[in-house]
């Protein structure tokens, strides 16, 4: 089963191209470490929330944009081995000297997918972060399974729901603070991939009107929706789809 390393980053808007080149140039190195796919997606439709949102999650400053990013590995063992290699590889240290963002506010963690439907790679992504009570894990999984089928029917190419497995506490930011996690709750990192934004916009209109997406009368949602946050992102780099590959070639030439 695929294992996911999920990231949220705040990047100055003027550093968009530099960030894309930086991320694309890192693709060969992370693939050498065992990653099977790297995706970096740039904020395109991210709203402020009343309780939680992407900007608060990384303490975004004025003029900064949110990047929703993930690396996929064949399994947790491969990811853990890659993490050890990163700590000692001088190339990683060199990359760290030229990061076009504030790494202290970056959020990251390891997540184990429990829903992975579809197999395509999209140019547009909906990203979600939310807390789920441990006792509601099965109820949430059942709901997510049903929802993924609807999203795929309306044009999504892949839906992933991943449960926090190795989510560290940070000194400045972290996933737990991002969702205002309570005792007994787990963090879910989730995304929907679409071929393009137009497909996503049309699909959401249909999804919101679809009776299958409404919970049975009298049933409560298996999570606190007020603390879930989400947004739409344009894919800048995708090692599987070849997006950003030209930048990687320039970086490694």
Closest by Cα among 9, 20, 227, 11 to 131? 227
pLDDT, tens only, 236-250: 999 999 998 765 565
Give the pLDDT confidence score for residue 47 in this predicted structure.
94
Give the pLDDT confidence score for residue 251 in this predicted structure.
52
CATH architecture assigned to 3-252: 2-Layer Sandwich (3.30)
CA distances from 177 to 56, 136, 201 (A): 9, 20, 30
Give the pLDDT confidence score for residue 205 in this predicted structure.
97
Burial label for 63, CB within 10 Å (0-12, 13-18, 19+), is exposed
Instruction: Give me the residues of the chain with pLDDT under 70, please.
Output: 1, 218, 246-253
CA 219 to chain centre: 28
The H or E element spanning position 190 is strand 185-194
Give the pLDDT confidence score for residue 97 in this predicted structure.
86
Going by the DSSP 8-state scheme, the letter that residue 168 receives in this structure is -
């Amino acid at each position: 089963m695929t294992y996911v390393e999920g990231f949220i980053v705040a990047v100055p808007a003027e550093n968009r191209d530099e960030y894309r080149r930086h991320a694309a140039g890192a693709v060969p190195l992370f693939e050498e470490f065992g990653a099977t796919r790297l995706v970096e997606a740039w904020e395109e439709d991210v709203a402020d929330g009343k309780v939680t949102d992407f900007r608060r999650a990384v303490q975004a400053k004025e003029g900064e944009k949110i990047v929703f990013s993930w690396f996929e590995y064949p399994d947790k063992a491969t990811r853990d081995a890659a993490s050890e290699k990163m700590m000692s590889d001088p190339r990683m240290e060199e990359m760290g000297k030229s990061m076009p963002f504030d790494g202290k506010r970056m959020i990251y963690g390891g997540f184990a997918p429990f829903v992975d439907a579809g197999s395509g790679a999209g140019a547009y992504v909906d990203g979600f972060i939310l807390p789920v009570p441990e006792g509601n894990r099965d109820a949430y999984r059942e709901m997510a399974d049903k929802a993924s089928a609807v999203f795929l029917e309306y044009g999504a190419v892949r839906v992933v729901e991943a449960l926090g497995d190795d989510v560290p506490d940070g000194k400045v930011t972290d996933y737990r603070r991002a969702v205002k996690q309570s005792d007994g709750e787990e963090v879910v990192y989730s995304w929907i991939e679409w071929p393009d934004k137009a497909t996503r916009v049309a699909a959401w209109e249909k999804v919101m009107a679809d009776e299958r997406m409404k919970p049975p009368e009298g049933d409560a949602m298996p999570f606190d929706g007020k603390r879930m946050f989400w947004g739409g992102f344009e894919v800048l780099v995708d090692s599987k789809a070849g997006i950003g590959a030209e930048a990687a070639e320039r970086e490694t030439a």
